[in-house]
A and B are shown apart, each in its own frame.
Chain A
Amino acid sequence: MIRDAVLWLLVTFDWFVLAYFLAINTSYLVLIGLAIVSFRHHMRRAPSASLEDTYANPLAPSVAILMAAYNEEAGIVEAVRAMLAIRYPAVEVVVIDDGSTDGTLAKLEDVFDLVAVARVLPGRIPSKGRVEQVFESRVAEGLVVVRKENGGRADALNVGVDIARSSLICMVDADSILDPDALLHVVQPFLDDPEKVVASGGVVRVVNDKTVRGGRVVDIHMPYTWLPRIQVVEYLRSFLLGRTGWSRVGALMIVSGAFGLFRRDLLVEFGGLDVDTIGEDAELVMRIHHELRKQRRPYRIVFVSEPVSWTEVPDTTTVLARQRRRWSRGLAEVLWKHRAMMLNPRYGRVGLIGMPYYLVFELLAPLLEVFGALAVALGLWFGVVNVEFALLFAMAAIGYAVIVSVTALAVEEISFHRYENWADLRVAVAAAFFENIGYRQLTAIWRLQGLWAAVRGATPEWGVMTRSGFNVVSAEVRR
């Protein structure tokens, strides 16, 4: 009797999981479809909208690039050089040395000939770590270096927002490399619609084993090992196409911390980044949605799909695991913190579509991924489902996903086509298979661990967690 009930539950669950996978993969396809519509618009526009016009426009808003650095001595000089090489008329580069214990500051002093200056801080955004000294460079105009006590990435960026004097704030990771035209691209939405646009995000692309010369990526090709190769495809599908799609829907919820542009007055008004959250970038965007919707102020957050920012992804499972646990935990926290928006019509598409989607198809996906496969295996074992069902399940979960990944490759091919060699193409197709066979299941386990950590709510170790999360990952990613 009980056995029958359990088996019935098992069968039902198996069918449910099958339907879930069909739905999640279809949702990816829909997002890709929306992205195609955006790309078509973008491709049409490209020839007539020249970056030179933006560059020469005296009314273009001024931008401050903020870079938080904690023990980044290996790459800091190169990263700052890249920021200084950005093509933009009015740019201020603020590097915040977040109490590094290595030679980060010494390297900067050495190369950029820093001099200590007096600077009164407005103090509009409270910060945990005290600011010790502000420097300016004698060789690079517009470079400001702030030395402060350690307080974590969010805290460092908050100090940067406070001290910056431009009307837009661009937050970048110290280990990502921007294209020289990056700002001209990402500032475009602010030029097109100065009244409404409050934030824009750039796409982050993978470039491991790269050659950087003078802060510019000179050869773009697929990475040499499989783990980063798979992430190339994953980033294409989920970041490039996924976020372009969400931007089209009008419910872009995540602007990557590696390259986002925000209005400074708004950041000051909202008190800057949340220092107690792991995913402070995502939290910021959610807070902007939350507050502005609540106050019924019209606004837009736009995703820019041009390839503008390059980052190195983890090439060992240890580092990747840590990153994914952190992402998953961060997402859980953000959704929980802003749960008031969930399914609340007042919050428009973000509340009605974006939030539920991220809950069901992002945060909880690893749950279904792991237990779904387990349940089907059990079903086979107990003979409640047959081999044909298992095959069908595999097609819905894996085959369909491969189609989605290869579709993403096809869209990239007709739009930006950045990885151009024929050898890259073979590798990319293979990576599209491996992404769905093996890689996804592996990351699902890590994401599940992150989710579990969030549910347990290990609050006591918060401050420490944030900080080590930031520095350990970014330090190890570099290697």
Chain B
Amino acid sequence: MSFVVPAFVVLYVVASVVLALVMFVAVARWVRLARRRRTERVVAPLRPLLIRLAAADEVDQEAFGALASLPEKQWRVIEPRVFRLLDKVRGLAATAIEGLLVSRGAVTTSVIGARSPSPVKRANAIVRLAALRQREQAGLIEQMLRDADEDVRRAAAIALGKIGRAESVRPLLESVPARRSVSPLVVGDALVRIGHPAVADLIAALSWGCPWQRQLAAEALGRIGTTVAEEALAAAAAGDESENVRAAAARALRKAGTWYAAGPLLDIAKSDPCIRVRCEAILALSEHSGAPVVEPLEIMLGDLEYDIASVAALALTRMGLPGREVLERAAAGNDHWAASHAMEALMAADLDEQLGRRALRRAPA
């Protein structure tokens, strides 16, 4: 038997590869630890200045001056910490830190960074523009909802939520079904953050083409909790073709509804083909309609569908004395199924009240 490559050569190669890898690990570790030590050395004396700047009621000129005139090399080390602190405060503290960052040219570098070929730099630039609350740059960030890189797009959506401009609502919603899309849950969060300025566009979006868009619009309106949208939400809850949208709209009516919605909600609770939608309608009903819905809920307590019975019981605990009376009657009644659901709800409600947990109990998801 003969070999093209003698075995000892292979042995030699294997040994040197292993050795090289071990060396690589050691060097990588050494570099990392050294770099970390250096960062700490720079940061340690500067951090108290930063805290002083954030804590002062009017700009602490001494701290500001010291930080603003740091040599570039040290500044680059501490800049991420400055942004991190900025993320945690509002008001005067934020203004002071923003002032410092602006004086060090952070806006300009971020705008340049947003055009960088590297997706990491683009995403970072967007995060920074949002932290600096650069409303003037919102247009630029909106364009980046269509960036080629998915992380950049997500960062843009989050940033637009933080900046909170009403004009961003449409581009945000449009980014959901786009070919280069943004996760609906991230967009939803941004819409909620924009809050009341978003309401008009969100109501309009309840009749847009893509179910996710309608669902998010409903979801966001519910979290913002504006009763202006009640009529549109009630219509969506009753008539939208997608059950996800109907469920979201019904849920939104918990906060965005008034007594007006009780009628449509009751119909939905009784007859929607989707159980999830019915559950949401029942829970929304319990929020703002009194005695008239107690009776239908009592019937649903005996519904053979577990979710309906369970949610009806939960809803009744939130309806004051009339609800409680129904539950107590059911708990003592002959219908074993309804009785056990009533019992569960009563015990849970008592426990919550005892412990001050205020009826936050979860309905089946």
CB <8 Å contact, A425 and B192: no
**A438 contacts the other chain (Cβ, under 8 Å)?**
no
The DSSP consensus for interface residues of chain B is: helix
**B111 contacts the other chain (Cβ, under 8 Å)?**
no
Residue A391 contacts which of B11, B18, B340, B343 (CB distance < 8 angstroms)?
Answer: B11
Q: How far is the CA of A118 from the CA of B340 in the complex (A)?
A: 8
Residue B22 contacts which of A56, A115, A400, A406 (CB distance < 8 angstroms)?
Answer: A406
CB <8 Å contact, A53 and B158: yes
**B14 contacts the other chain (Cβ, under 8 Å)?**
yes
**A44 contacts the other chain (Cβ, under 8 Å)?**
yes
Once A410-B24, A413-B29, A414-B28 are accepted as A-B contacts, the answer to whether A386 and B343 lie under 8 Å apart by CB is no
Q: How far is the CA of A402 from the CA of B186 in the complex (A)?
A: 43
Measured as residues with beta carbon below 8 angstroms from the partner, the interface class of chain B is 35 or more
CB <8 Å contact, A425 and B344: no
CB <8 Å contact, B351 and A429: no
Once A48-B151, A413-B28, A417-B29 are accepted as A-B contacts, the answer to whether A60 and B185 lie under 8 Å apart by CB is yes
Q: How far is the CA of A422 from the CA of B30 in the complex (A)?
A: 9
CB <8 Å contact, A47 and B124: yes
CB <8 Å contact, A395 and B365: no
Chain A residues bordering chain B, tally (CB within 8 A): 58
**A49 contacts the other chain (Cβ, under 8 Å)?**
yes
B307 partner residues in chain A, CB cutoff 8 A: 122
Residue A59 contacts which of B15, B154, B189 (CB distance < 8 angstroms)?
Answer: B189
CB <8 Å contact, A59 and B219: yes
Q: How far is the CA of A319 from the CA of B123 in the complex (A)?
A: 48
CB <8 Å contact, A403 and B11: no
**A191 contacts the other chain (Cβ, under 8 Å)?**
yes
List residues of A (62-96) whose CB comes within 8 Å of B's CBs: 62, 90, 92
Residue A191 contacts which of B123, B185, B337, B362 (CB distance < 8 angstroms)?
Answer: B185
CB <8 Å contact, A141 and B357: yes
Binds A, one of B1-9, B56-64, B264-272: B1-9
**B254 contacts the other chain (Cβ, under 8 Å)?**
no
A264 partner residues in chain B, CB cutoff 8 A: 365
CB <8 Å contact, A191 and B186: yes
CB <8 Å contact, B3 and A166: no
List residues of B (299-320) whose CB comes within 8 Å of A's CBs: 306-307, 309-310
CB <8 Å contact, A48 and B184: no
**B10 contacts the other chain (Cβ, under 8 Å)?**
yes
CB <8 Å contact, B343 and A59: no
Q: How far is the CA of A314 from the CA of B24 in the complex (A)?
A: 31
Q: How far is the CA of A402 from the CA of B18 in the complex (A)?
A: 7
Chain A 378-403, CB-CB to B under 8 Å as 1, else 0, gives: 00000001101101100100011011
A61 partner residues in chain B, CB cutoff 8 A: 365
CB <8 Å contact, B189 and A57: yes
CB <8 Å contact, A120 and B340: yes
Chain B 335-357, CB-CB to A under 8 Å as 1, else 0, gives: 00100110110011001000101
**A119 contacts the other chain (Cβ, under 8 Å)?**
yes
Q: How far is the CA of A152 from the CA of B132 in the complex (A)?
A: 55
Chain B 92-110, CB-CB to A under 8 Å as 1, else 0, gives: 0000000000000000000
**Smallest CB–CB gap between A360 and chain B, Å?**
24
Residue A194 contacts which of B8, B127, B184, B344 (CB distance < 8 angstroms)?
Answer: B184
Q: How far is the CA of A385 from the CA of B183 in the complex (A)?
A: 60
CB <8 Å contact, A407 and B1: no
Chain A 300-313, CB-CB to B under 8 Å as 1, else 0, gives: 00000000000000
Closest to A52 in B: B87
CB <8 Å contact, B340 and A386: no
A255 partner residues in chain B, CB cutoff 8 A: none
Q: How far is the CA of A44 from the CA of B118 in the complex (A)?
A: 10
Closest to B15 in A: A399
Chain A 91-126, CB-CB to B under 8 Å as 1, else 0, gives: 010000000000000000000000101111011100
A406 partner residues in chain B, CB cutoff 8 A: 18, 21-22, 25
CB <8 Å contact, A118 and B154: no
CB <8 Å contact, A47 and B120: yes
CB <8 Å contact, B189 and A58: yes
A58 partner residues in chain B, CB cutoff 8 A: 188-189, 192, 223
Closest to A395 in B: B10
CB <8 Å contact, A62 and B22: no
Chain A 403-433, CB-CB to B under 8 Å as 1, else 0, gives: 1001101100110010010100100010000
CB <8 Å contact, A165 and B365: yes
List residues of B (24-65) whose CB comes within 8 Å of A's CBs: 24-26, 28-29, 32-33
A417 partner residues in chain B, CB cutoff 8 A: 29, 32
Closest to A192 in B: B183
**A136 contacts the other chain (Cβ, under 8 Å)?**
yes
**A167 contacts the other chain (Cβ, under 8 Å)?**
yes
**Smallest CB–CB gap between B304 and chain A, Å?**
12
Once A47-B120, A47-B124 are accepted as A-B contacts, the answer to whether A115 and B25 lie under 8 Å apart by CB is no
Residue B351 contacts which of A117, A122, A165 (CB distance < 8 angstroms)?
Answer: A117
Residue A53 contacts which of B189, B223, B310 (CB distance < 8 angstroms)?
Answer: B189
**B363 contacts the other chain (Cβ, under 8 Å)?**
yes
Once A141-B357, A403-B17 are accepted as A-B contacts, the answer to whether A62 and B362 lie under 8 Å apart by CB is yes
Closest to B346 in A: A118
CB <8 Å contact, B1 and A386: yes
**B234 contacts the other chain (Cβ, under 8 Å)?**
no
CB <8 Å contact, B348 and A194: no
Once A48-B155, A62-B365 are accepted as A-B contacts, the answer to whether A120 and B344 lie under 8 Å apart by CB is yes
Q: How far is the CA of A389 from the CA of B8 in the complex (A)?
A: 11
CB <8 Å contact, A425 and B7: no
CB <8 Å contact, A117 and B348: yes
CB <8 Å contact, B188 and A59: yes
**B233 contacts the other chain (Cβ, under 8 Å)?**
no
CB <8 Å contact, B127 and A48: yes
CB <8 Å contact, B351 and A403: no
**A138 contacts the other chain (Cβ, under 8 Å)?**
yes
Q: How far is the CA of A410 from the CA of B364 in the complex (A)?
A: 46
CB <8 Å contact, B183 and A194: yes
**A3 contacts the other chain (Cβ, under 8 Å)?**
no
CB <8 Å contact, B119 and A119: no
A388 partner residues in chain B, CB cutoff 8 A: 1, 3, 6-7
**Smallest CB–CB gap between A233 and chain B, Å?**
12
B340 partner residues in chain A, CB cutoff 8 A: 118, 120
B186 partner residues in chain A, CB cutoff 8 A: 57, 191-192
**A45 contacts the other chain (Cβ, under 8 Å)?**
yes
A62 partner residues in chain B, CB cutoff 8 A: 362, 365
CB <8 Å contact, A57 and B185: yes
**B284 contacts the other chain (Cβ, under 8 Å)?**
no
B18 partner residues in chain A, CB cutoff 8 A: 399, 402-403, 406
- 22 A-B pairs with CB atoms under 8 Å apart are A45-B123, A50-B127, A52-B87, A53-B189, A57-B186, A59-B189, A60-B185, A118-B343, A118-B347, A120-B337, A120-B341, A123-B306, A124-B306, A136-B351, A138-B355, A191-B183, A192-B154, A192-B186, A194-B183, A388-B1, A402-B18, A429-B22
4 closest cross-chain pairs (CB), A and B: A48-B123, A399-B14, A167-B365, A391-B7
Interface residues of A, Cβ cutoff 8 Å to B: 44-45, 47-50, 52-53, 56-62, 90, 92, 115, 117-120, 122-124, 136, 138, 141, 165-167, 191-194, 264, 385-386, 388-389, 391-392, 395, 399-400, 402-403, 406-407, 409-410, 413-414, 417, 420, 422, 425, 429
7 A-B pairs besides A118-B347, A413-B25, A425-B25 with CB distance below 8 A are: A59-B192, A59-B219, A118-B340, A167-B365, A192-B183, A386-B1, A413-B24
